[in-house]
């Protein structure tokens, strides 16, 4: 028996020792190669694995890695990524080199484009490569985690509702904090054209833009970058540049499709009807209060309003050009249903971009987008019209139907199952945006540009409640249109002197 016990203890000790030997800790410090200063926030990951961390304020890091790990990758915005072999070392120090290619990139600002190295404005740019092959419905999702100083919060669980975006924090206690959106030089109207029945919110204005049509998004954060837009750019400006094809390239056709599902997480668990009646009886008896005769029925409201959300997205595009002309043609169809009843969205849009060089000094172009968005809604999450909120507030013995199978009026806490089955709450929009421009190089460095743009939107809203919920029934039809025309004429001077100086004016 003693021999068996000793053998068991030795085996356990060996197993623990082996388990400990499977991992080791790597520490180190990351600094810039040009100045030797520590780099905070550098991503440190095991190549081909899931272990990772970031450097602290002094550039130090500590990472627990498997014994099989052989290479660490170090990545940081503005610096060239490095892969370092671990070997038998327990400390790996790294010096990251500045990415010269990144500094030579051209960034779009409010009044034109500049080399990143020469730009003094505070901007953040996200290119199409950053979100390639990523399932995105709204272009605002592109900025999530990609642009420093940009905070985005979903204002509602209703599909297609506008997100709240703040750039470098709020700038007003009373006025709105939304930034100005500019698409190919045309400022986009972001008005909320809805009656808001049941707490519903307006449609996201960027739903009309297909994320696959976007070439880059640039966030203008400071006053100098957004100065040309005046007070409209006081909360920052988001410039969206769409694709336009490439010169001297064969026609390229892209077709892609993705789908997915969504499920709610961390759903609250409530007492069922039997548990509630027992709890209520014990509570009243403990307080010497008579126990009324509660209904013996039972209904799971939360389960009734939940479902599996589904998403389908189809995109197709064609682009190309010769030595003088570039074109891009794209279209998309998206169909999405949320994980609660009465939350559906459809979008159909098409885009055509055309650019032509008449001569070496004269250029013209056209950008046009047409979109149709159909939204079927039931209510925002902070009202009794919302499926989940209503299901949490309903008592578990309350039934949505009467003895004859007809929907019941459940009072202040809405019978959302009946509302969804018998009524409707739809908000549809048709929107066309675009611009036509001409550019002329007057002399070297001096360019004149004239731009004409449109933003025409038509909103149809329909709402109906049957008389079982509202005596006599209730409903309305609302149609609103918003037509904006824009014209701008600019004279831009940009001259590079030597290698380190430039002169620009507008």
Of the three residues 73, 101, 129, the one that is the final residue of a domain is 101
Look-up of token digits 């006081």: 234
Q: Domain boundary residue among 242, 265, 294?
A: 242
Cα–Cα distance, 442 to 24 (Å, whole number): 65
pLDDT of residue 101: 52
Query: For residue 79, what are the β-bridge partners?
Result: 98
Task: Please tell me the predicted confidence (pLDDT) of residue 28.
Answer: 94
Q: Quick one: three-class SS letters along 308-363? A: CEEEEEEEEEEEEECCCEEEEEEEEEEEEECCECCCEEEEEEEEEEEEEECCCCEE
Whether residue 3 lies inside any domain: the answer is: no
Q: What's the structural domain count of the chain?
A: 3
Q: Is 15 a domain residue?
A: no
CATH number at residue 89: 2.60.40.1120
Q: Which of 210, 242, 274 is the last residue of a domain?
A: 242
- Say if CB 210 and CB 351 are below 8 A apart: yes
The answer to whether residues 190 and 262 belong to one domain is no
486 plus 417 within the same structural domain = yes
Pair (431, 463) in one structural domain: yes
Length of the chain as a residue count? 506
Tell me which residue of 10, 2, 76 sits closest to 45, measured CA to CA. 76
6 is a domain residue: no
The DSSP 8-state label assigned to residue 121 in this structure reads S
Same domain, 271 and 418: yes
- 198 Rama class: left (phi>0) / alpha (psi -120 to 50) / beta: left
**Does a structural domain hold residue 336?**
yes
Q: Are 120 and 172 within one domain? A: yes
Cα–Cα dist 336/158, whole Å: 11
DSSP 372-394: EEEEE----TTSTTSHHHHHHHS
**Same structural domain, 133 and 265:** no
Q: Give CA separation, 473 vs 124, 202, 346, 408, 465, in Å.
A: 51, 24, 28, 14, 6
Q: Which domain holds residue 308?
A: 249-505
Residue 418 and residue 496 in one domain: yes
Check whether residue 206 and residue 223 sit in a common domain: yes
Same domain, 83 and 126: no
Residue 12 placed within a domain: no
Sign of CA dihedral 190, 195, 196, 200: negative
**Ramachandran category for residue 130: left, alpha or beta (phi over 0 → left; psi -120 to 50 → alpha):** alpha
Q: Quick check: is 17 in a domain? A: no
Question: Which residue bears the tokens 């009072």?
Answer: 411
Tens of pLDDT along the chain (506 residues) come to 444 444 444 444 444 444 444 678 899 999 988 778 888 888 898 887 778 888 888 899 999 888 888 899 998 877 788 888 888 888 999 998 876 555 444 455 555 555 544 455 566 777 777 777 777 777 777 777 677 777 777 777 788 777 777 777 665 555 567 788 888 888 887 766 555 554 455 678 788 888 889 988 888 877 666 667 777 777 888 888 899 888 888 999 999 998 999 888 888 888 999 999 999 999 999 999 999 999 999 999 999 999 999 999 999 999 999 989 999 999 999 999 989 998 899 999 999 999 999 998 999 999 999 999 998 887 665 677 788 888 889 999 999 998 888 888 888 888 889 888 888 888 889 999 999 999 999 988 889 999 999 999 998 888 888 777 667 778 888 888 888 898 888 888 877 776 666 777 77
Residue 14 lies in a domain: no
- 153 and 233: one domain? yes
One domain for residues 258 and 228: no
* pLDDT for the residue 87: 84
**416 vs 394: CA distance, rounded Å:** 11
Q: Report if residue 167 sits inside a domain.
A: yes
Q: Same domain, yes or no, for 118 and 86?
A: no
Domain of 195, CATH number, reads 2.170.130.10
N- to C-terminal Cα separation, the chain: 93
């Amino acid at each position: 028996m003693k021999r068996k016990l000793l053998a068991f203890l030795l085996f356990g000790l060996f197993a623990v020792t082996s388990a400990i030997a499977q991992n080791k800790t790597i520490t180190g410090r990351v600094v810039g190669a040009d100045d030797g200063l520590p780099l905070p926030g550098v991503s440190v990951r095991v190549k081909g694995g899931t272990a990772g961390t970031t450097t602290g304020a002094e550039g130090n890091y500590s990472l627990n890695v498997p014994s099989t790990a052989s290479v660490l990758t170090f990545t940081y915005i503005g610096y060239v990524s490095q892969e370092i072999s671990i070997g038998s070392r327990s400390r790996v120090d790294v010096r990251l080199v500045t990415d010269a290619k990144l500094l030579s990139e051209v960034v779009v600002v409010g009044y034109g484009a500049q080399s990143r190295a020469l730009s003094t404005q505070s901007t953040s740019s996200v290119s199409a490569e950053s979100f390639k092959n990523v399932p995105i419905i709204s272009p605002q999702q592109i900025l999530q985690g990609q642009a420093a100083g940009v905070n985005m919060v979903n204002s509602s669980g209703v599909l297609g509702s506008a997100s709240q975006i703040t750039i470098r924090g709020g700038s007003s206690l009373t006025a709105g904090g939304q930034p100005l959106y500019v698409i190919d030089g045309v400022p986009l109207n972001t008005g909320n054209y809805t009656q808001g029945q049941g707490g519903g919110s307006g449609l996201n204005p960027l739903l009309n833009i297909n994320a696959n049509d976007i070439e880059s998004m640039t966030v203008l954060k400071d006053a100098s970058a957004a100065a040309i837009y005046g007070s409209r750019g006081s909360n920052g400006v988001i410039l969206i540049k769409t694709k336009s094809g490439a010169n001297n390239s064969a026609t390229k056709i892209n077709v892609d499709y993705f789908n997915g599902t969504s499920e709610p997480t961390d759903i609250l668990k409530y007492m069922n009807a039997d548990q509630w009646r027992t709890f209520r009886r014990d509570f009243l008896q403990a307080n010497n209060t008579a126990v009324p005769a509660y209904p013996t029925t039972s209904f799971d409201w939360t389960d009734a309003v939940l479902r599996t959300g589904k998403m389908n997205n189809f995109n197709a595009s064609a682009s190309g050009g010769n030595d003088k002309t570039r074109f891009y043609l794209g279209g998309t169809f998206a169909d999405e249903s949320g994980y609660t009843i009465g939350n559906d969205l459809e979008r159909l849009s098409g885009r055509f971009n055309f650019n032509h060089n008449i001569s070496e000094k004269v250029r013209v172009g056209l950008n046009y987008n047409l979109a149709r968005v159909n939204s079927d809604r039931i209510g925002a999450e902070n009202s009794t019209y919302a499926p989940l909120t209503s299901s949490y507030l309903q008592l578990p013995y309350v039934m949505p139907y009467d003895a004859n199978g007809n929907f019941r009026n459940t009072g202040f806490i809405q019978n959302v199952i009946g509302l969804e089955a018998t009524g409707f709450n739809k908000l549809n929009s048709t929107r066309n945006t675009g611009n036509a421009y001409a550019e002329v190089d007057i002399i070297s460095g001096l360019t004149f540009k004239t731009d004409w743009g449109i933003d025409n939107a038509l909103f149809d809203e329909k709402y109906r409640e049957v008389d079982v919920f509202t005596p006599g029934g209730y409903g309305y039809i609302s149609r609103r249109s918003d037509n904006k025309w824009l014209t701008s004429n600019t004279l831009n001077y940009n001259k590079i002197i030597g290698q380190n100086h430039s002169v620009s004016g507008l």
